[in-house]
Amino acid sequence: MYDTQLGRWHAVDPLADTYSSFTPYMYAANNPLIFIDPDGQRVKLGNLLASEEGIATFISIVMDLATLSGINKFTVSDGYLVEDRTGTNENQGSARIRKYVRHLLNDQENDIELTSYNTAHTETKPIGWLFSNSDLIRIGGDQMETWRRGALAAGVNPLTVGYGIFFLHESLHSKSGASFFNKDHSYFAHSPSGGDKSNEYNPGRVEEEVNNFRKSYNDWLISTGKANQSNLLAQRMGYAPIGSGTGPLVNGKGSYRFTLPGDIRKNTEDKNITISYDPKPAYSEQVRSSTRNRIMRDFTKR
């Protein structure tokens, strides 16, 4: 039995051993504002809810997607992340992103599982056999924060390279994401020698689609009269860092080419900017704690 006043179960969760960092009497990972857990069973979100960093990362993804898409409330049902339509504003955010996110949430043939690994690069890989319909998106929290700080330093809306945008980017590498465009997932593989052609001057197929997502959000801001230089998203003009040329794909520390849309009120031209990134920040626990606190403050303001 669930006690709505205490926010606790009166019986031990049958899968308590799976989430050892939580009390076995806790409901919905202690985040009932964005999650429900109707049967007390599995929360299939990789290890995102098994640590404070993972929870903060997941909340950041959800908040970004809410801003970008207008889907303002998500729930966990039968182990899957789903949209709660009672919290969706069809007139907020990008309709294109909203349609794509709904595809990911309702894809009956392919799965995406999220997992957290702070010190690693964010990446997507198949789960199990090569021809499995499940893909794992590993979220590198340190990497996300480094990109975010780089955007702020460049005077750009951090949503440009935020948690939500990176989730959309990585999901395009999955079978579910590619199927939205009626493509095989290999179509979105980063390969300068293949069809992708991503390099210092070319964002490649994945970032071209992500740029379309960014543009669709900007178009909504402009159409509603809410656009200004502080909230428009920049377009990524190169996938590899400046100085790497058109050769083999290079990921890593450096500055990356972006273009910030001009001010439509003043009829100014697009502005070329750079966002700096260091893939191996020497993050201390103090810095990570500060990051988690910022995320939770942002969350409670929503």
Q: What is the pLDDT of residues 21-35, one digit of tens each?
A: 455 555 555 555 444
Residue listed under structure tokens 């959309």: 168
Mean pLDDT for 123-127 is 66
Mean pLDDT for 279-298 is 66
> Which residue pairs, CB below 8 angstroms and at least 24 apart, start in 188-194?
190/239, 190/249, 191/249, 192/246, 192/247, 192/248, 192/249, 193/248
pLDDT recorded at residue 39: 40
CB 264 within 8 A of CB 227: yes
pLDDT recorded at residue 115: 78
Do 170 and 202 fall into the same domain? Answer: yes
Do 196 and 283 fall into the same domain? Answer: yes
CB 64 within 8 A of CB 162: yes
Do 21 and 52 fall into the same domain? Answer: no
pLDDT per residue over 61-105, tens digit each? 888 999 999 988 877 666 677 788 777 788 899 999 999 998 888
Do 90 and 236 fall into the same domain? Answer: yes
**Is pLDDT at 124 greater than 90 in this prediction?**
no
Do 142 and 4 fall into the same domain? Answer: no
**Is pLDDT at 182 greater than 90 in this prediction?**
yes
3 state SS of 301: helix
Do 25 and 43 fall into the same domain? Answer: no
pLDDT recorded at residue 294: 75
Mean pLDDT for 144-162 is 90
3 state SS of 277: strand
CB proximity list for 42: less than 8 A, separation 6 or greater? 15, 18, 79
3 state SS of 176: helix
pTM, rounded to two decimals: 0.79
CB proximity list for 127: less than 8 A, separation 6 or greater? 111, 113, 134, 135, 136
Q: For the chain, what is the domain count? A: 2
**Is pLDDT at 183 greater than 80 in this prediction?**
yes
Do 102 and 47 fall into the same domain? Answer: yes
Cα 234 from Cα 211, distance rounded (Å): 8
Do 15 and 150 fall into the same domain? Answer: no
Domain that holds residue 178: 31-301
Cα 56 from Cα 116, distance rounded (Å): 10
Do 98 and 133 fall into the same domain? Answer: yes
Do 64 and 15 fall into the same domain? Answer: no
Do 128 and 143 fall into the same domain? Answer: yes
Do 140 and 24 fall into the same domain? Answer: no
Q: Which residue has the higher pLDDT, 18 or 257?
A: 257
Cα 188 from Cα 205, distance rounded (Å): 6
pLDDT recorded at residue 146: 84
pLDDT recorded at residue 81: 77
